[in-house]
Amino acid sequence: MYTKLFCKTLALMLSVLMLCALSPAAAAAEGTDRVIHVSPAGSDTDGSGTEEAPFATIEKALTMVEPGVTVCVHEGTYGPFALTGEHSGTPEAPVTVAAAEGEAVVIDATDAPAGISMTDVDNITLEGFEVFGSVLGIDYESTTDRGELPLENVTIRGNRVHDIVGEHGICVYAHNYQAPMTNLVMEDNEVFNCRCYWSESTVFNGNIDGFTIRNNVIHDNNNIGIDMIGFEGTAALPEGEEDPYQVDFVRNGQCYGNVVYNISAFNNEAYWTSREDDEEWYDEYASYSGDDPSLAEEGFYDRCADGIYVDGGQDIQIYENFVFNCDIGIEIATEHAEADDPRFEVSGMDVHDNVIAGCTGWAGICFGGYDSDLGFTHDCSFHHNTLVDNGVAFAAQRSWGNTLENNLISGDAGFEVNALNDDEDYLNDNTFGANCWIGTDNEWMQDMADQSQAKAQLTEGEAPDPAQAYASAVEGMGSSFTPAQEYVDLYQALLDAQENELPAALAALEAIRDTGIEAADLADSENNVLVWLTAALADQGIENVKLEMMPAPVGDPDGLILCGKGGEELASVLALDGTVNEQAVQALEEDATACISVCVRLQYAENTWCNARVSSIPVHFTKP
């Protein structure tokens, strides 16, 4: 992991007044390492930006930025801020905007469009901020105003982005078709507890040529963890060009060392399919997903959120990632029709030495255009991956010429072809080399250890320690990368919680459902539905749970379905925080019995929940 920038003035630094007098070009020539300090205890009118006399706001410090400058932000809470091209550094004298080492710097962006936005800026590092509450957490974009000059050398490092409601935690949109972003790095960030709707937890999109995504921890979000996108028109050439998509895709990158978990579209209203609106698709889904927690009588949530997704990207290496408890582990595909443009395809992907576990929405790894008329995946390699307890190990969609070899698979169905891929020209003409299947049950830790030991004895190799169950003892098979023990333990805790504690919580809620809850005051925010249920569970010895209202799949996304007698739906009368408003009170005065949908999440680590193993429970309560 990279350490945060240690913000301090240098002993031999020139005086602040002298440095302020330097132009950007002169500062770069002088090799200036000037530091501008910001603190809530500072002053924008009387401060000078020194550590002893800091400015009070980040915005004030940014007015003093020139190449070679570091803006050092000290502990406290600040509002959103924006960086533009005038804040750029140079390759020789980059700019840094960073939290002071070891200090908690929070960007409270509640209800703002973005917490930190960057436009047409380069040669800069953004580091160490905690951002929450906005529609976009950290937003970096290029525009055609940049002209033919590439944006280069931008690093987004060590930030914590959480509780974003609406779109992305971290997003990069390269709109400039005249010149790419290059040498773009996203590393050591944590993005969690985001409600992304149609958007992704983190995304690179458009004209990006040369990038690195590494050592990030992405978890507990309701859509794709890491996405690398092409062909969405983000950097399409002007109308009339013969090949408008020639640079409109992410390419020539690396995605490695990331931990991605608890990524699911379950409870994401953007992925709700009503049985009434599409009964045929509901019946087909139900036929093979009868035990899926997303399946309900009135419809289902399509569990298609990937841990890591390439949608139209090209020539990318994806390796040494640990992906677990996602709908789909890693997907290589494109969502666009080849008939619209022959460029709509994916090639040159090298997916290797990843560990993928417990991805039960569909598959550990899948690839190809997901329908018969969509783009396809070809000439990609999937090798030396370890896949454990996924729905299926590999799922092939519309594709040809891909190679699957030296993968180690335990506890999964091996290979499945998407039935929607019926184009005879693309009947999954892929090559299977030597792959190794071991075990069939879901006790993956002991199973992998036992089976690997047996294989090791057969091959006269050395048996692994059970704690290193992911390490393959079959020579040449599976990932040479073993996840950090803390995340192996985290996954095991998840399995234990799902097997033992979560069923007990669900059973307790079912008992509550059958008996009802006596409500003291429906309008009292301190005595709301979630408070009642939590207390009722605690009375039964179940305390390690978090209850959330399940958003209405129709109507106001911030509201909740309240069902009265006879199943009549009154949408958006309960808030997602569980408080009951006056409309709900009036409804219950007319009908003393109602039901709500509740999402049960079991906490098994800090900021980490069983949010892909939850059930919708109708809970009846009665008015006294």
* Contacting residues for 99 by C-beta, under 8 A, at least 6 apart: 4, 73, 74, 75, 105, 127, 128, 129
pLDDT class for 376, splitting at 50, 70, 90?
A: confident
Question: pLDDT tens digits, residue range 416-474?
Answer: 777 666 666 666 678 877 777 765 443 433 444 444 433 333 333 333 343 343 445 56
Cα 381–chain centre separation? 24
Predicted local confidence at residue 612, as pLDDT: 38
Predicted local confidence at residue 591, as pLDDT: 54
> 15: which DSSP letter?
P
Predicted local confidence at residue 618, as pLDDT: 58
Question: pLDDT tens digits, residue range 571-592?
Answer: 444 555 556 556 655 655 555 4
The mean pLDDT value for 316-329 works out to 97
Predicted local confidence at residue 60, as pLDDT: 98
Average pLDDT, the chain: 80
HSE at residue 28, side-chain half, CA atoms within 13 A, is 14
Q: Which of 68, 4, 12 is nearest to 36 (CA)?
A: 68
pTM (2 decimals)? 0.85
Q: β-pairing, 250-256 with 314-319?
A: parallel
Question: How many CB atoms lie under 10 A from the CB of residue 30?
Answer: 15
Give the least confident one: 49-63, 330-344, 398-412, 585-599. 585-599
Residue with tokens 């490092």, as numbered in its chain: 157
Question: pLDDT tens digits, residue range 110-131?
Answer: 989 999 999 999 999 999 999 9
Contact 439, 448 (CB under 8 A): yes
